[in-house]
Structure formats: structure tokens, C-alpha cells
Amino acid sequence: MKETITLKIKDLFEDIGNQATFVGSFFRNIFRNGFEWNELIRQCYLIGLKSLNIVLITGFVLGFVLTLQSLPTLQQFGAEGYVPNMVSISIFREIGPVITSLICAGKIASGIGAELGSMKVTEQIDAMDVSGANPIQYLVVTRILACTFMVPLLVLFADAVSLLGGYVGTSTAGGMTAALYFSKSFSSLVFSDFFPAFIKSIFFGFTIGFVGCYKGFKANKGTESVGIAANSAVVAASVWIIILDAVAVQLTSIFVYNQ
Amino acid sequence: MENVIEIENLKKSFNGSEVLKGISLTVKKGENLVVLGKSGQGKSVTIQCVVGMIEPDEGSIKVLNKEINELDEQELKDIRGRIGFLFQHAALYDSMTVRENLAFPLKRVLKVKDEAEIEQRSVEALEAVGLADAIDKMPSDLSGGQRKRMGLARTLIVKPEIILYDEPTTGLDTITSKEISRLILSIREKYKASSIIITHDMSCARITADRIVIMNDGKCIAEGTYEQLENSSDTFINSFFKI
Ligand SMILES: Nc1ncnc2c1ncn2[C@@H]1O[C@H](COP(=O)(O)OP(=O)(O)O)[C@@H](O)[C@H]1O
Ligand SMILES: [Mg+2]
């Protein structure tokens, strides 16, 4: 019992060490000669496109549901006019980045984990390495950067569509005109609602790419390890997103809202 | 004659169990050295040490007059560019077409930029392995034998000075195995490369070997030509050659 615990702790620290090394080699390889521009663009395209549908649908539903949920309560106080303000602020500040990133963790991190995991298991990554090519540069740098760029973009799309969902929500309850709804939504948004959220979605994107690549590269021999890589990538990326979000909220309230 | 690979007293353990217990072998320039041995004797580990994929615990490995374990990252890359490594399951990049598989090492290792040259060298490498009509296929459309040929083409395209074959005929039918073995021989003629060929396929050994080393229990226990070892009085050595 005691031995298995010490072994587990040892594994944990080893894993942390390996992740640190992996991050290090990512940053070193960004600035190496022979940056894979074509592959980066291809990955951005793939990663963005693969998740666009589900992100848009989720964004719309979020706005819609949030509106329907808050309408009755606000009506009791005669404050239904504030629905657009409330919905847009809560989505832009918090719900948009976090939910979109969690969805991307499920879609993108698992995809990268499975893809690189199966390349590892079938020795394709070893083959690249042994041929004198650079698998970190070709596979890892491109994917992590693509996630870092594309996830914030997807978050913006989700935010935008959620406003539309919110409008559809109010109009089912016989609410206001589109012009009024959107002008209220935008008038309540200020830079500090938008900017910290954007910064944190960059970190979420990096995390998704990093965790996917790391878990994929860690796959050892055996087909089942591909499934494990995909699965553990989703779990780890989601947990990291939630932890990072908690930190981000603290930092934002200290430095941006000065509370 | 000059040695292209010199391994001396190579030792390696995994999780406390010693896999290589002091391997010494040399490969001369232009020679095909066959390494024979049962499964799990550390044959793959040995050639993985040669390309620096695995770091040995002890011993020295000189490849093309460079001590592999003393090279920095860039020097290791450079030397890897001069060595071809054929994986047991070919390790084709299965998200890329045959053409892209071939262009990959050309662009990244030899830094060839000219598309016409890439095309010409790809065709040449495919012709050398008898796979010229497959250039636009995906790896998943190739048969087992074709995959081996394709892996070989991707190795040959950078014109390596040394080729390491890990069980090139395992998993193939007898006729295809013989074709691959003859291909290995013809490649030596054409590319003048030196090779280590790991196998337990005796017909492959007979066709390709200039010299054979038998590995058992982490050591090289015998060395000689096919005929010398076939007529050995040692029963264990002899057992490899009995049908
Ligand atoms: N990277 C590794 N980590 C741990 N053990 C390994 C590794 N590579 C090989 N081994 C072990 O070393 C032994 C020899 O393997 P290998 O060289 O593949 O044998 P073979 O002679 O069949 O090619 C096996 O028992 C294998 O489990
Ligand atoms: Mg082997």
C-alpha cells in the first residue's frame, strides 16, 4: 500500500518533469530553421474547420437557453429589459470562453492525441526522428500554435452566435426588436469584459494543443494506448481549462476590476 | 577495408533486466552483415543504439568514424541523414500519399527545394524498388510487400551510406520475401551502401549475407559466412540452418 503510493507519487513527479521538458522543446523548436509554415496553415484550417459547426451550435444554444432561463426571474422585477446586457456580459466574460474551450478539448485534444498516438505506436514518429527530420517541429509546434490561434477565434465566433441565440430567445417571449436587443447587448460590453476573456482563451488553446500532443507522444506500444492517449487528453485538457479559468478569474478581478 | 560501423562491448538494461550483455560487431564498407537471432534477443535494440534512438548503458558505437553517444543534437541529425533505417512495419506516414512520403525526407533532411528534382528523385527511388506506378496511392492501399518496398524507397531517396534493415521479410509470404531479399542485394549494387540486416528468415540470410553474426542471450555467439555457420558443429548454431 505504502509502496504503491510512493510509486504513484514518483510517477507523478516524473510526468511533471516530462511535461516541462516537452514544453521546453516546443519553445526551442519554434525558432529553429525550417519552420513548417505550410503545415501550420493546414493545421489551422483543419482545427478551425473541424470544430466550427459544433462551436456555432453550442454558442447559439447557450445564448438561447440563458435568455429563456433568466427572462422569468428578471420579469418578476420588471427588469426584462436587462436580459441582453446580462446575457452578453456573462457569455463574453465567462461562459463563451470556458464552454467553447471545453468543447474544443473534447474535439481537438482527443483528435490530436489519437492521431499522434497512432503515429507513435506505428513508429512513424520514430521514423521521422531517425531519418534526421524533426518530428517536434513538424508535428508538435504546428499543432500547438494552430490551437493557440484558432481556439480564441472559435470563442469569438461562439460569442457572436450566442447573441443571436439570445435574440431568438427573447423574441419567442415576445420581447424586443433586433435593433434594440443588439444595441443593448453591445452597449453593456466594455473592453474589460472582452480582453481578459480573449487572453485566457489563448491559454486554453495552448493547453488543448499541448495536452493533445503530449499525450499522443507518450503513447507506448500497443493499439489500446491510442485510445488511452485520446481519452486522457480530453480529461487532462478539460481539467486544466477549469483550473486555468479559476486562476484567470482571480487575476482579472484583482488587476482589471481592482476588487 | 574500412569499417563503417564499429560496436564494442555494448550493454543495455531495461528495468533491471540486461538485454545486451556486451555486443561487439563491425560492418565493413560495402558489406551486408546479417544478424540472426531468436525473438527478444535485443537485435532491434542494437540497431536502435546505432542511430541513437536508445542510449546504451556502456560500450562504444562508432558510425562513419563518429562516436554516436558523444554527438550533439545537430551532429546526430547530420549522421542520421546518412543512415537509412527500415522499420519492421515500414512506418509509412499514413496521412500522406506515397509521393509526399518520399518528398518528406528530401525536403527536410537534404533540404531539396526544387520540385522537379523532388519528382525525379521520387520516381527514381520508386523504380529502384519496383513500385513506379504507386506514386499517387495512399499507404493504406498498398499490400504488405509493397509497404516494405515503399519504406525502402523512402529510405533510399536520401542515398544513405548505411542501411539498417529490421526484419525486412517478416510477415511476408515466401515468394515476396525472396523478392525483397533480392531487392536488398540489388540495392547494394546500385547504391553501394553498407547494411545490417536483422532477420530470422534463413532464405533472406542466404541471399543477402556476406557475413552472418548470431546473437543469443545478449551476446554475439558466432560469426562467419553462411557456409561456415551452416557446417558448424555447434548444435545451437546448426539449429538455425535446419529446415
Ligand atoms: N524501449 C524499450 N523499453 C523497454 N524494454 C525494451 C525496449 N525496447 C526493447 N525492450 C526489451 O528488450 C528486449 C529485446 O527487444 P528487441 O531488441 O526488440 O528484440 P528482437 O531481438 O526481437 O528485435 C525485449 O525483451 C523488449 O521487451
Ligand atoms: Mg525486433
Taking 80 as the threshold, does the pLDDT of residue A179 lie above it?
yes
> Is B88 a member of any domain?
no
List C-alpha distances in Å: A130 to A37, B155, B192.
Answer: 22, 10, 21
Domain boundary among B159, B187, B215: B159
- How far apart CA B34 and CA B147 sit, in angstroms, is 22
- Contact, A107 vs A51, CB < 8 A? yes
- How far apart CA B25 and CA B9 sit, in angstroms, is 9
pLDDT at residue A189, rounded to an integer: 86
Q: Give yes or no: residues B210 and B100 share one domain.
A: no
Question: How far is the centre of ligand 1, averaged over its atoms, from the C-alpha of A174 (Å)?
Answer: 71
Q: Give yes or no: residues B78 and B32 share one domain.
A: yes
pLDDT at residue A259, rounded to an integer: 62
Q: Give yes or no: residues B48 and B149 share one domain.
A: no
ipTM of model:
0.92
| Cell numbers that stand for A77 in this block | 422585477
| Residue A33 pLDDT grade (very low, low, confident, very high; cuts 50, 70, 90) | confident
Question: Among residues of chain A, what percentage have pLDDT more than 70?
Answer: 99
Domain boundary among B133, B159, B185: B159
Helix axes A96-104, A191-218, angle to 10 degrees: 20
Contacts of A128 (CB under 8 A, 6+ apart): A134, A135, A138, A139, B93, B104
Taking 80 as the threshold, does the pLDDT of residue B73 lie above it?
yes
Nearest chain B residue to A120 by CA distance is B91
> Is B176 a member of any domain?
yes
Ligand 1 binding pocket includes B150 (Cβ within 6 Å): no
Task: Check CB contact under 8 Å for B108 and A132.
Answer: yes
Q: Which domain holds residue B70?
A: 1-82+162-243
Q: What is the pLDDT of residues A114-167, one digit of tens each?
A: 999 999 999 999 999 999 999 999 999 999 999 999 999 999 999 999 999 999
> Is B131 a member of any domain?
yes
> Is B226 a member of any domain?
yes
pLDDT at residue A45, rounded to an integer: 97
Look over chain A and give the mean of its residue pLDDT values, rounded to a whole number: 93
- Contact, A201 vs A102, CB < 8 A? no
**C-alpha angle A215-A220-A221 in degrees, rounded to nearest 5:** 145
Q: What is the pLDDT of residues A212-237, one digit of tens each?
A: 999 999 998 788 999 999 999 999 99
Give the residue carrying C-alpha cell 487572453: A199
State whether the Cα torsion B47-B51-B55-B60 is positive or negative: positive
User: How many Cβ atoms are within 10 Å of A69's Cβ, its own excluded?
Assistant: 11
Q: Give yes or no: residues B142 and B123 share one domain.
A: yes
Q: Give yes or no: residues B118 and B212 share one domain.
A: no
pLDDT at residue B156, rounded to an integer: 93
| Residue B241 pLDDT grade (very low, low, confident, very high; cuts 50, 70, 90) | confident
Task: Compute the average pLDDT of residues B55-66.
Answer: 95
Q: Give yes or no: residues B229 and B175 share one domain.
A: yes
- How far apart CA A215 and CA A226 sit, in angstroms, is 9
Alpha helices in chain A, H assignment, sequence order: 2-30, 37-76, 83-90, 96-104, 110-121, 124-130, 135, 142-172, 178-188, 191-218, 224-255
Q: Give yes or no: residues B170 and B76 share one domain.
A: yes
User: How many Cβ atoms are within 10 Å of B241's Cβ, its own excluded?
Assistant: 15
Domain boundary among B117, B140, B159: B159
> Is B36 a member of any domain?
yes
pLDDT at residue B1, rounded to an integer: 66
Pairing status of strand B32-36 against strand B58-63: unpaired
| Cell numbers that stand for B158 in this block | 536520401
List C-alpha distances in Å: B126 to B98, B132, B152.
Answer: 9, 5, 9
- Taking any CB pair shorter than 8 Å as contact, residues of chain A touching chain B are 34, 115, 119, 122-124, 126-134, 138
Minimal-distance CA residue to ligand 1 atom 20: B40
Question: Among residues of chain B, what percentage have pLDDT more than 90?
Answer: 91
Enumerate long-range contacts of B174-179, CB under 8 Å, 24 or more apart. B174/B203, B176/B144, B176/B145, B177/B201, B177/B203, B177/B204, B178/B203, B178/B207, B179/B145
Phi, psi of B85 (to 5 degrees): -130, 115
Q: Which residues of A touch B87 (CB under 8 A)?
A: 123, 126-127
Contacts of B236 (CB under 8 A, 6+ apart): B216, B221
Q: Give yes or no: residues B139 and B66 share one domain.
A: no
Map residue B78 onto helix, strand or coil.
Answer: helix
Map residue A77 onto helix, strand or coil.
Answer: coil
- How far apart CA A209 and CA A78 sit, in angstroms, is 46
User: How many Cβ atoms are within 10 Å of A178's Cβ, its own excluded?
Assistant: 12
Q: Give yes or no: residues B173 and B223 share one domain.
A: yes
Fill in the DSSP letter of residue B35: E
In this prediction the pTM is 0.93
Stretch (H or E) spanning B228: helix B226-230
pLDDT at residue A256, rounded to an integer: 80
pLDDT at residue A75, rounded to an integer: 87
Ligand 1 binding pocket includes B44 (Cβ within 6 Å): yes
Taking 80 as the threshold, does the pLDDT of residue B33 lie above it?
yes
- How far apart CA B217 and CA A25 sit, in angstroms, is 37
- How far apart CA A117 and CA A213 sit, in angstroms, is 8
Task: Check CB contact under 8 Å for B158 and A131.
Answer: yes
DSSP output for B176-207? HHHHHHHHHHHHHHHH--EEEEEE--HHHHHH
Task: Check CB contact under 8 Å for A124 and B80.
Answer: no
- Contact, B157 vs B145, CB < 8 A? no
pLDDT at residue B207, rounded to an integer: 95
- How far apart CA B108 and CA B77 sit, in angstroms, is 11
> Is B68 a member of any domain?
yes
Look over chain B and give the mean of its residue pLDDT values, rounded to a whole number: 94
Task: Compute the average pLDDT of residues A205-209.
Answer: 98
Taking 80 as the threshold, does the pLDDT of residue A211 lie above it?
yes
Contacts of B152 (CB under 8 A, 6+ apart): B86, B129, B168, B183, B187
> Is B130 a member of any domain?
yes
Q: Give yes or no: residues B229 and B166 share one domain.
A: yes
User: How many Cβ atoms are within 10 Å of A242's Cβ, its own excluded?
Assistant: 14
Stretch (H or E) spanning B122: helix B115-128
Domain count, chain B: 2
Stretch (H or E) spanning B9: strand B3-14
pLDDT at residue A223, rounded to an integer: 85
pLDDT at residue A222, rounded to an integer: 82
| Residue A78 pLDDT grade (very low, low, confident, very high; cuts 50, 70, 90) | confident
Task: Compute the average pLDDT of residues B203-211.
Answer: 95
Task: Check CB contact under 8 Å for B77 and A132.
Answer: yes
Minimal-distance CA residue to ligand 1 atom 5: B14
Distance from CA of B222 to the nearest CA of A (A): 29
Task: Compute the average pLDDT of residues B25-35.
Answer: 95
Q: Give yes or no: residues B167 and B136 share one domain.
A: no
- How far apart CA B88 and CA B148 sit, in angstroms, is 8
| Residue A64 pLDDT grade (very low, low, confident, very high; cuts 50, 70, 90) | very high
Stretch (H or E) spanning B128: helix B115-128
| Cell numbers that stand for A58 in this block | 453550442
- Contact, B107 vs B154, CB < 8 A? no
Instruction: Using the atom order of ligand 1, give the atom closest to the CA of residue B46.
Output: 17
Q: Give yes or no: residues B184 and B70 share one domain.
A: yes
Pairing status of strand B66-67 against strand B211-216: unpaired
> Is B87 a member of any domain?
no
Task: Compute the average pLDDT of residues B50-73.
Answer: 94
pLDDT at residue A80, rounded to an integer: 83
CATH number of the domain where residue B238 is located: 3.40.50.300
